[in-house]
Amino acid sequence: MFRPKRSLYALFALATILLPAPQAHACAIFCVVRDGQVLFCNNEDFTRPGYIWFVPAAKGRLARVNFGFDDRFAQGSMNEKGLAFDSTALPPVPWKSDPSKETPRNLIEKIMNECTTVAETLAYFEKYNCKHLSDGQFLFADAAGDAAVVAWLPETGLSITRRTSDRLIVTNTRLGMSGYRCQRFVRAEQILAASSSTDVNSLAAVLNAVHQRGPGGFTSYSNVFDLKNRKIYLYNLANYEEAIVLDMDQELARRATRPRPLADLFQNSPTLDDIRAGEQRTTWDTRVELSPEQLDKLVGTYSPEQDAKIKIRISRNDGVLLVENPGQPVATLFPESSTTFRIAPDRGQVTFTFDDTSDPQSSGLILHKARDLKAVRVRE
């Protein structure tokens, strides 16, 4: 749906002055496929301590391990075939059921009971309605390394984002709606891109770098699933110095099906008071250093494609860029890569584009907020 010019201008203006409310219940999930390994990693952020329980196989039901809280609602799982899922909360949007599809009480539960691959999982989303897509999205991965994020877009419906590199990351924005990525997403991507390691300790360090803490919400637990070997590496209350390693097959053989508080498994687990203490963590260090020459390529005047009367001016001040939007305070852009900048402190992102490799200057920019808005360089 195209928005009229006045709304377009308003969105450019709002992006420079509005600070989104920090999400305390803001999980981070990523899947890494490298060197023949498939590792599924999750930070579960909430306000209660975590639980683990195993579900044995039965007729029409695959065995699996579940993680969640004391309500026994599975927030994440891995089944005996190496299919795993976890989810992130999203701002709710209107969700419409398809009258031609069945609506199971819990489609995710049905998938984990019956499916063995991501391909089978996606076929279930085509066959069944999933009411949980109104305010959540799901990352699925399987032992063969296939991975996909399933979400719901208010204008186009079901959205599937497939893994196209050796990793797939999701936090708390709908991937298909905008190019905006929160600081936790960017920080995880920066670390994963800089290293090719599949060592579990290295992946736990990524989880550590983006964990939550504070009175409004904290990382209740973290897990790394080895999907090929069905092993579970578990961390409690953002203590990444102590890991519990569980073998799913062995735990099922022991009939360890009773829900257990995760704190009972650890010798040196922090207390809830420890992780709730202090100020709420709302920022993560994603800034990189760019040279003046790199920044100067981006300096200039830009206009939205739909309204050339609007002039957005980008200037340089030492190691940062400044954006001047008519009628609004000057905002600072901090670099997160050579082309992507965050509107400080976290009011959106701007990506600069280059159409002609022979031209050192950027050709345009894209503002990432709730939507992506494009502007082209004005040649002065």
Among 313, 378, 367, which Cα is nearest to 342's?
A: 367
d(CA 340, CA 295): 11
On average, the pLDDT of the chain sits at: 91
Residues 111-141 pLDDT 10s: 999 999 999 999 999 999 999 999 999 999 9
Q: Is the pLDDT of residue 13 over 60?
A: no
Q: Is the pLDDT of residue 372 over 50?
A: yes
Supply the pLDDT for residue 19: 38
Burial label, 328 (beta-carbon count in 10 A; 0-12, 13-18, 19+): middle
Supply the pLDDT for residue 216: 93
The mean pLDDT of 296-323, rounded to a whole number, is 92
Distances (CA, A) of 49 to 25, 46, 52, 70, 246: 13, 8, 11, 8, 19
Phi, psi (5° rounding) for residue 250? -65, -40
Q: Is the pLDDT of residue 295 over 50?
A: yes
Is the Cβ–Cβ distance between 364 and 378 less than 8 Å? no
Q: Residue 358 — very low, low, confident or very high, per pLDDT cuts 50/70/90?
A: confident
Domains of the chain and any CATH numbers:
5-19+286-378 (2.40.128.50), 28-276 (3.60.60.10)
Q: How many residues does the chain have?
A: 380
Is the Cβ–Cβ distance between 67 and 221 less than 8 Å? yes
Supply the pLDDT for residue 2: 28
Q: Let me know the angle formed at the C-alpha of 346 by 176 and 313, rounded to the nearest 5 degrees.
A: 90
d(CA 181, CA 27): 13
d(CA 47, CA 220): 7
Residues 211-245 pLDDT 10s: 999 999 999 999 999 999 999 999 999 999 999 99
pTM reported for the whole predicted model: 0.92
Supply the pLDDT for residue 318: 84
Residues 90-99 pLDDT 10s: 999 999 899 9
Is the Cβ–Cβ distance between 108 and 158 less than 8 Å? no
